[in-house]
Amino acid sequence: MARFHDLEVTDVRKTIRDAVVVTLKPANGAAEEFDFTQGQYLTFRRDFDGEELRRSYSICAGKDEGILQVGIKRVDGGAFSTWANTELQAGDTLQAMAPMGSFFTALDRATEKNYLGFAGGSGITPVLSILKTTLAAEPNASFTLVYANKGVNTIMFREELEDLKNLYMGRFNVIHVLESDAQEIDLFTGLVTEEKCAQLFKHWIDIQSVDTAFICGPEPMMLGIASALRTAGLGDSQIKFELFASAQPGRAKRKATATDAASSANQTKAAITLDGATQTVEMGKDMTLLDAALENAMDAPYACKAGVCSTCRCKVLEGEVEMVANHALEDYEVEKGYVLSCQAYPVTDNVVVDYDQ
Amino acid sequence: MTDEMSIENYLAQGGVLTNPSNVPPRYRAELMKMMATFVDSELAGAAGFADIINEGPGIKARIAAAKIVLEKSDSAEKVLRIMGDFGADTERYADHHPWTARLERNADIGQSRTKHDMRLAVFNYPLEGWADAVMMNLLMGRAVALQLEELSHVSYQPLAEAFRAILPVEAHHAELAEEGLMALVEAQGTQALQELADYWWPRVAASFGQEASEKFEGLKAMGLRRTQNAELKARWQQDAGAILGKTGLKPAA
């Protein structure tokens, strides 16, 4: 189960106008928990007006740097990222889960690999961690970074990347592709699309020699690049993705409160939505929501039926239900109205639940 | 970099998801079911096979059987760990159910699962001795290899990677079973073994699911499936039929 640890903020530094790099130090002896692998991310939680928000941000530090750092770019309407960019300061305490994610490959000093990284905007954070770690750990590795941004002034870590180029002369190369700022070479202007990649592979990048490619950016960019890489002959196992969807909801809505009180009757009318279709069923209060759905030929998801796996999770929109066991959902999910339907018995005479939320 | 795209659209175009924070609810549900099916089948398979170890003729056979139990447990753990990323209580999950439980040898359950876990129907039948275990392991091992090949392309990258790592391990189990079957044919001829093949053939075939699954298109749009059940089953029939043929056995009619 997920567990949060306290982290002390030791530094908050602006990298561009609307992005900060936050340096963290595990508190209360949790250092071991935060021994990360390059390319992993941290999930933070914080209360905003009594409601818990969770956000994930990638670690941008290299493994060998001995520090824990994340990059946080401000998103329009994003409560957490705005707060981190305007109010967070050294001395504050943040709470995060141990590093997660598998956006990395194993390192081996003896190999002589060629890596290719693609980053769009703040997608640079995990790629930066990977390239710093890899270049330090594999003395014969080379790394080419294709870095897409709107314009020169929105390039995160621009100076740091220049420094790395000097440090790893001949092994590290950056191609900046800018959407709106014209560059000397036409190819480096515009969006990083499938066609753009194909041209880069023709003139600038020896794609045949690439062992592994890393992509982190918005959805359309990831699709285009992956498609170009496959056309160029890379297999699934050679392409590593990291997607942090731009569509993360800004703030969760409050759980609907019970509209009717419990009554003495032992029957409940349950409106159950699954795959966009809603069925209203009569069920006994001694039956779980999951069984009611299954009995009515709905293909509701489940696996363990013991409250441990969370496959059967659904959201209660109206009415009240009671869970007899819960080993999978966390308090904040329960607060939002999520229940394990295999463990949930109706309490009120009417309930409305949804498997699609 | 400003163009917006829905996750559904992204998946339909072959996009890949990489962590629990942005999987849509229905995707999450199907992914969890897929993982639970695999984990339960592996745990049930390992549990059933554990009882067979001592029946192996000679030390080499017993080592092979023990290795299969070990590696199936390990494969289950790899996938259960990913379920844990989604909130599953992994320790409790592994112990919440009696994985050795089996139905009657002649229970007619077709493709249905029992009420209590998600193991594929075929893992509900009891193994009756060494030769029976070898035959089941051979036929199901080939089926698992084909199913894993299909699943190693799922759009949830951590799971696709886990399945890619598991695939050669499971394929090797079928190879061990093939060696075991060769030895059995040499020792006792084909007659009794043909009966076992006839017993397991339709039950393993059923593990490919319904031929025309209504859910297929939905799963395909989410990047969770790409090949139809019927086609996978046909590949298995050819593949497993050829292996049986090498030993002088034949598929059930």
CATH number (domain holding residue A312): 3.10.20.30
- Collect all residues of chain B within an 8 Å Cβ-Cβ radius of residue A155: none
Whole-angstrom distance, CA of residue A185 vs CA of residue A321: 63
Strands A114-120 and A142-149: parallel
Examine the domain organization and report whether A237 and A276 are in the same domain: no
C-alpha distance from B74 to closest chain A C-alpha (Å): 18
The shortest CB-CB distance from A245 to any of B13, B22, B152 is to B22
pTM of the predicted model as reported, rounded to 2 decimal places: 0.84
Q: Please report, for the domain that includes residue A140, its CATH number.
A: 3.40.50.80
Q: What is the CATH number of the domain that holds A9?
A: 2.40.30.10
Residue of A237, A308, A330 lying closest to B93 (CB–CB): A308
Position B4 pLDDT exceeds 80: no
Q: Count CB pairs under 8 A between chains A and B.
A: 144
Indicate if A238 and A118 belong to the same structural domain. yes
| CB interface of A with B, residues 184-213, below 8 Å | 191
Assigned domain for A259 exists? no
- Is B143 a domain residue? yes
Q: Does A355 touch chain B (CB under 8 A)?
A: yes
Whole-number pLDDT of residue A265 = 66
**CATH number for position B154:** 1.20.1260.10
CB contact under 8 A, A356 and B26: yes
Phi-psi region of A86 (alpha: psi -120 to 50; beta: other; left: phi over 0): alpha
Q: CB neighbours (10 Å) of residue A132? A: 24
Give the nearest chain B residue to A58 (CA atoms).
B19
Tell me the residue range of the domain where A229 lies. 114-242
If asked whether residues A121 and A90 sit together in one domain, one would say no
For chain A, what is the mean pLDDT?
89
Q: How far is A190 from chain B (nearest CA, A)?
A: 9
Our measurement of the distance from residue A147's CA atom to the centroid of its chain's CA atoms, rounded to an integer in Å, reads: 19
Give pLDDT tens digits for A39-91. Answer: 999 989 898 887 778 888 999 999 999 999 999 999 888 889 999 999 999 99
- Residues of chain A with Cβ-Cβ distance to B9 below 8 Å are 219
Q: Is B252 a domain residue?
A: no
Q: Residues A159, A191: contact at Cβ < 8 Å?
A: no
The answer for A 67-96 residues in CB contact with B (under 8 A) is: none
Q: Do A247 and B4 touch (CB under 8 A)?
A: yes
Is A102 in Cβ contact with B1 (below 8 Å)?
Answer: no
Whether this model's ipTM surpasses 0.85 comes out as no
Cross-chain residue pair B25–A242, CB shorter than 8 Å: no
Domain contains B1: no
Question: Other C-beta atoms within 10 Å of B47: how many?
Answer: 20
Residue A284 and residue A211 share a domain? no
What percent of chain A is predicted at pLDDT more than 70?
A: 93
R_g of chain B, CA atoms, integer Å: 19
Q: Do the beta carbons of residue A125 and residue A99 sit within 8 Å?
A: no
Q: pLDDT tens for residues A109-159?
A: 999 999 999 999 999 999 999 999 999 999 999 999 999 999 999 999 999
The number of distinct structural domains making up chain A is 3
CA dihedral of A97, B23, A20, A115, whole degrees rounded to 10: 100
Asked if residue A1 has pLDDT above 50, the reply is: no
Residues A231 and A155 placed together within one structural domain of the fold = yes
Whether residue A243 lies within 8 A of chain B, CB to CB, comes out as yes
Confidence tier at A316 by pLDDT (50, 70, 90): very high
Task: Give residue B114's pLDDT.
Answer: 65
- The answer to whether residue A119 sits within a structural domain is yes
Q: Could you tell me if A248 and B23 are in contact, meaning their C-beta atoms sit under 8 angstroms apart? A: no
Q: Which residues of B touch A41 (CB under 8 A)?
A: 19
In this structure, the answer to whether residues A272 and A344 fall within a common structural domain is yes
A280 and A233 in a common domain:
no
A231 and A316 fall within a common domain? no
**Statement to judge: residues A124 and A149 lie in one domain:** yes
Contact A303 B32 (CB under 8 A): yes
Beta-bridge partners for A25: A8
Question: In this structure, are residues A310 and B87 in contact, taking their beta carbons and an 8 Å threshold?
Answer: yes
User: What pLDDT score does A75 carry?
Assistant: 86
pLDDT band for position A254 (cuts 50, 70, 90): very low
Tens-digit pLDDT profile for residues B198-208: 999 999 999 99
Residue A349: per-residue pLDDT: 92
Q: Label residues B14-31 b or e (16+ Cβ within 10 Å = b).
A: ebbbbbbbbbbbbbbbbb
What is the structure's pLDDT at A257? 37
Would you state the pLDDT for residue A186?
86
Residues B137-176 have pLDDT tens digits of: 999 999 999 999 999 999 999 999 999 999 999 999 999 9
Q: What residues of B are in contact with residue A304 (Cβ under 8 Å)?
A: 36, 93, 96-97, 117-118
d(CA A44, CA A55): 5
Q: Check whether residue A71 and residue A126 sit in a common domain.
A: no
For residue A342, give the chain B residue with the closest CA: B116
pLDDT at B252: 84
Using an 8 Å CB-CB cutoff, list chain B residues near A240.
157
Whether residue A251 lies within 8 A of chain B, CB to CB, comes out as: no
- Radius of gyration (C-alpha) of chain A in whole angstroms: 24
Q: What are φ and ψ of residue B231, in 5° steps?
A: -70, -40
Spatial distance between the Cα atoms of B217 and B225, rounded to a whole number of angstroms: 8
Q: Is residue A247 part of a domain?
A: no
Cβ neighbours of A301 in B, within 8 Å: 29-30, 32-33
Determine which of A301-305, A332-336, B172-176 has the lowest per-residue pLDDT on average. Answer: A301-305
Residue B7 lies in a domain: no
pLDDT above 90: percentage of residues in chain B: 73
SS3 call for B124: helix
Pair (A16, A69) in one structural domain: yes
How many domains does one find in chain B?
A: 1
Residue A333 counted as domain residue:
yes
Of A21-25, A346-350, B17-21, the poorest mean pLDDT is in B17-21
Determine, for residues A219 and B10 on separate chains, whether the beta-carbon distance falls below 8 Å: yes
Model confidence at A250, pLDDT cuts 50, 70, 90, reads very low
Contact A306, A313 (CB under 8 A): no
Give B43→chain A minimum CA distance, Å.
13
* Contact (Cβ atoms closer than 8 angstroms) between residue A121 and residue A151: no
pLDDT confidence of residue B207: 92
Six token digits for residue B9: 């659209």
| Average pLDDT of the residues in A201-225 | 94
Partners of residue A248 in chain B, C-beta under 8 Å: 21-22
Question: Which residue in chain B is spatially nearest to A225 when comparing CA positions?
Answer: B15
Best probe of the A interface among B19, B40, B117, by most A CBs < 10 A, is B19
pLDDT at residue B3 tops 70: no
Q: Which of B3, B36, B87 sits opposite A220 (nearest CB)?
A: B3
Give the mean model confidence (pLDDT) for residues B48-65. 94
Residues A225 and A120 in one domain: yes
Strands in B134-229 per DSSP E: none
Which residues, numbered 279 to 298 in chain A, qualify as contacts with chain B under a Cβ-Cβ cut-off of 8 Å?
A: none
Rounded-to-10 torsion of CA A239, B165, A32, A329: 90
Q: Is B233 inside any structural domain?
A: yes
Residue A295: pLDDT above 60? yes
Domain that holds residue B105: 22-246
The pLDDT value given to residue A262: 47
In a domain, B2, yes or no: no
pLDDT digits (tens, 9 = 90+) for B93-109: 888 788 888 888 888 77
What's the mean per-residue pLDDT of chain B?
91
Contact A303 B37 (CB under 8 A): yes
Q: What is the pLDDT of residue A307?
A: 85
